[in-house]
Structure 1
Amino acid sequence: MTRWENYMNAAEKVITGYDGSLPLHHYLKTFFKAHPHMGSRDRKWVQQLVYQYYRLGCWQKERPVQERILLGAFLSSQGPDELLAFFNQEWNQQAAATLEQKLALTGIAWDAKAAFPFLDHLSAGIDGEAFTRSHLQQPHLFIRARPGKKAAILRLLDAAGVPAQQIAEHTLALPNGTKTDSIIADKSWYEVQDLSSQETGLRFQPKAGEHWWDCCAASGGKSILLFDKEPNIHLFASDVRASILENLKKRFAEAGLKNYSSKVLDLTSHALRAQMPRTRFAGIILDAPCSGSGTWGRTPENICYFKEAQIAEYAMLQKNIAANVTPFLQPGGTLVYITCSVFREENEEAVEFLRGHCGLEIAESGVISGYERGADTMFVAVGRKIKTIEA
């Protein structure tokens, strides 16, 4: 049996054994640990085939697994490779063709609704056809150069032979798989952060001396972006997960950030006020827990395992959190509401809730489209407190 057949069999074994209860990359680590005979090249090929299978979403699910793996490999390919050549020479010769040409060669019509069953929930302005097709390609690796470090970073990347495309003033796009930590030794020089995520920071307008609260801080990427815009703020960071805040502290230490406090908080708790260090903030970043549907180009397995009912569950959670945190916004203060979702229930409907129930005047809201730029798709709204609501 050839190594290409072995790769295909291993990929099928992963797919048939996977149930979606773990992120796919965690499951793959477990699988490879149980198969120690597979070398790094073998693991890379198998992982690629598995992800290419899931990039088809729910489209053509009735096909045998190995047929669908090969179809995903062909439609996702950027050029010829040995595996395609082994299984289908004609497809391999057209591996660099456009998606339309590839579909014509297969004789199969693309069905956006079948690929992404949640199209009816998309936020306004998202092109469903283009969005679903974008999942066939892995989004780029983006880094944000921290103030004053871009030129030095570009020199290191150039010396390492890594092509870097400058997207914005501080944003660089790198080839996926680039080992940034082995090229740029000083982690305080940059942050790995998606392009659309970086663009949410354009809505941050902190002033020196102000108190800001990153209330769903996770590992702190938005907080670091906030600090880079204005180092002389007082930051309070919270998250419901203690382990995540430990990651934040480590990331802040690497970034050289010290002027902050942090605390584990349940933002749905009725006792939230008693646990807060202060009752008024000039700015609140609410990077809300969400479906993550705008990031599924990076985790395409979610398309197959996400349940439609979860959209309403996330929307309810977001409104609950918004209702609890907005009373801590001082009159005239700013709330920046962010999701990495493409669903209107988590986006536009959340904005209506902020306007109608939280005493906010909405200055801006809309989708940050990433699906045609090799990036995640996100949503951001900026609200300002127009009346005092007691916490």
Structure 2
Amino acid sequence: MRSYSYLNTAEQILDHYDGKEPFASFLKKFFSQYRKYGSRDRKQIGHLCYCYFRLGKSLPQVPTQERILIGLFLCCTESNEILEQLRPEWNEKFHLVLGKKLLIINYSLLITDAFPWKEELSEGIDYEKFCRSFFTQPDLFLRLRPGYEGAVKEKISGAKISFREINSSCLAVPNTTKVKTIIELDKEAIVQDLNSQKIGNYLKLSIASRSLSGCQLPVAVWDCCAGSGGKSLLLYDLESNIDLTVSDVRESILINLRKRFTNAGIKKYKSFVVDLTQANSPWPILHGSAGTSSRRAYEPFINTIGGQFDLIICDAPCTGSGTWSRTPEQLYFFDEKKIQPYSVLQKKIVSRVIPNLKPGGVLLYITCSVFKKENEEVVDFIKKQFHLELLKMQLLKGYDKRADSMFVSVLRKSL
């Protein structure tokens, strides 16, 4: 029976996966070794594995195959072929809400067992709703770039893809949508989670606050943990008259960023590699948009008296706990002991970058974490150690919107 074959293969994969790389990457490598699995097989087996991870820390003593089936039942919203064959009595109840499904399985299981760290959460999070979100795959969100809104909607509609229009510049499509085959990514639209797009409101606040302090355009901006450049791309679409500098810890990250910037039409910026957690590491040479370098370009970073930037965006490395419904393997393997080291790392980074703010300059501190040690406690540290004024702070909840949750704060240096 094919269902048993799927279940056995999923168990085999889970037995060999240790959580040290993204599960999607591990799964791709597995199927590249075993080419007997067709597209439908890969999809079914992968789904079983993700259902297993969505149980998080609950039912740790339950055998793997039984745990897979429990996860599948709790996650399914329609009749399922595998459940029909292996647990027909559960499949008949697929339409029930999650709470009622929990009463059907023969285990004492609470929805909150998946995430046992309630006391670590930031203020304002609905604990039960947050835990429920782990059993639902979030949507894929597109940010439509200025001037391409109509074209993107036409292309998505033409491809017979269902979508929800969140606002004039944001669409939600099914997570499995292969958008790069439909639109020109980064040029026409950008894959960016809903709450990541909402950071634009805080970028506007940051620029407005800086303008009130007498800042003249172009605004000098440093995206210090730039990653693939999503926040810089968002800022550029809001205010293109910026003097942009981007950095990250590895050159490979910036190579990807430069490709995205090229596709997006961003030509004027500077970039450099730096480990901001190392207080004594030298500031490196800045690279221009074309890859040229200049030793003179990085001299301002050495003499930080007075600062250099009107706005510093710090999208800090974090546990990623606000995104675990998208990557449930991270929930499954998470150890609470990891929270404090991330908080220490974040404090090191902000301590390194804040001296580069001009008087009246603004720090935008962002995480995709739901833990207060990475969020409110870092903001408290910034206020106490550097005497920055807190203008705005918010936990952007995504668990009730099929989206990621994020934390954002806007702090201003005194004039």
> 2:291: which partner in 1?
none
> 1:161: which partner in 2?
160
Bigger mean CA offset, 77-86 vs 218-227: 77-86
Q: Describe the superposition over 1:303-348 as per-residue Cα deviations: whole angstroms up to 9, x where unpaired.
A: 2222211100000010111111011111111110000000000001
The reply on whether 1:289 has 2:298 as its aligned counterpart is no
Equivalent residues in 2 for 1:104-183 (5 A)? 104-183=103-182
- Matched residues in 2 for 1:369 and 1:378: separation? 7
Secondary structure at the aligned position of 1:363 is classed as: strand
- Matched residues in 1 for 2:279 and 2:41: separation? 52
**2:274/2:283 contact within 8 Å kept:** no
The residue type paired with residue 325 of structure 2 is G
> 2:337: which partner in 1?
309
Which of 379, 383, 407 matches 1:351?
Answer: 379
- Matched residues in 2 for 1:330 and 1:97: separation? 56
TM-score normalised by structure 1 residue count: 0.95
Deviation at 1:268, TM superposition (A): 2.4
Q: 1:112 to 1:349 in 2, by over 3 A?
A: farther
Bigger mean CA offset, 335-344 vs 100-109: 100-109
Secondary structure at the aligned position of 1:333 is classed as: strand
The reply on whether 1:247 has 2:256 as its aligned counterpart is yes
Which of 382, 391, 403 matches 1:375?
Answer: 403
**2:102/2:110 contact within 8 Å kept:** no
**1:280/1:329 contact within 8 Å kept:** yes
Equivalent residues in 2 for 1:230-269 (5 A)? 230-269=239-278
> 2:66: which partner in 1?
67
- Matched residues in 2 for 1:111 and 1:241: separation? 42
Equivalent residues in 2 for 1:68-83 (5 A)? 68-83=67-82
Secondary structure at the aligned position of 2:147 is classed as: coil
Deviation at 1:271, TM superposition (A): 4.5
The residue type paired with residue 320 of structure 2 is G
The reply on whether 1:211 has 2:225 as its aligned counterpart is no
The residue type paired with residue 120 of structure 1 is E
Secondary structure at the aligned position of 1:154 is classed as: helix
**2:313/2:365 contact within 8 Å kept:** yes
> 1:323: which partner in 2?
351
**1:135/1:297 contact within 8 Å kept:** yes
**1:181/1:187 contact within 8 Å kept:** no
Bigger mean CA offset, 203-212 vs 43-52: 203-212
Aligned residues: 386
- Matched residues in 2 for 1:264 and 1:152: separation? 36
- Matched residues in 2 for 1:277 and 1:238: separation? 15
- Matched residues in 2 for 1:91 and 1:277: separation? 66
Secondary structure at the aligned position of 2:364 is classed as: strand
Secondary structure at the aligned position of 1:9 is classed as: helix
> 2:50: which partner in 1?
51
- Matched residues in 1 for 2:147 and 2:193: separation? 20
Secondary structure at the aligned position of 2:317 is classed as: coil
The residue type paired with residue 227 of structure 1 is Y
- Matched residues in 1 for 2:165 and 2:362: separation? 30
- Matched residues in 1 for 2:244 and 2:109: separation? 48
- Matched residues in 2 for 1:40 and 1:286: separation? 40
- Matched residues in 2 for 1:186 and 1:40: separation? 24
Q: Describe the superposition over 1:27-74 as per-residue Cα deviations: whole angstroms up to 9, x where unpaired.
A: 111211221111111111000000000000011121111111011001
Deviation at 1:117, TM superposition (A): 2.6
Secondary structure at the aligned position of 1:138 is classed as: coil
**1:322/1:358 contact within 8 Å kept:** no
The reply on whether 1:226 has 2:243 as its aligned counterpart is no
- Matched residues in 1 for 2:16 and 2:280: separation? 43
- Matched residues in 1 for 2:392 and 2:127: separation? 23
The reply on whether 1:338 has 2:337 as its aligned counterpart is no
> 2:293: which partner in 1?
none
Deviation at 1:187, TM superposition (A): 4.0
Q: Describe the superposition over 1:220-271 as per-residue Cα deviations: whole angstroms up to 9, x where unpaired.
A: 0000001000111110000011100000001111111111110001112335
Deviation at 1:170, TM superposition (A): 1.1
Q: 1:180 to 1:274 in 2, by over 3 A?
A: closer
- Matched residues in 1 for 2:74 and 2:182: separation? 32
TM-score normalised by structure 2 residue count: 0.90
The residue type paired with residue 241 of structure 2 is N
User: Percent sequence identity over matched residues?
Assistant: 45
Secondary structure at the aligned position of 1:204 is classed as: helix
Secondary structure at the aligned position of 1:203 is classed as: helix
Deviation at 1:118, TM superposition (A): 2.1
Q: Describe the superposition over 1:326-385 as per-residue Cα deviations: whole angstroms up to 9, x where unpaired.
A: 111111111100000000000010110111112210011121000010000110000000
Structure 1 residues not aligned, in runs of 5+? none
Secondary structure at the aligned position of 1:283 is classed as: strand
Q: 1:84 to 1:274 in 2, by over 3 A?
A: closer
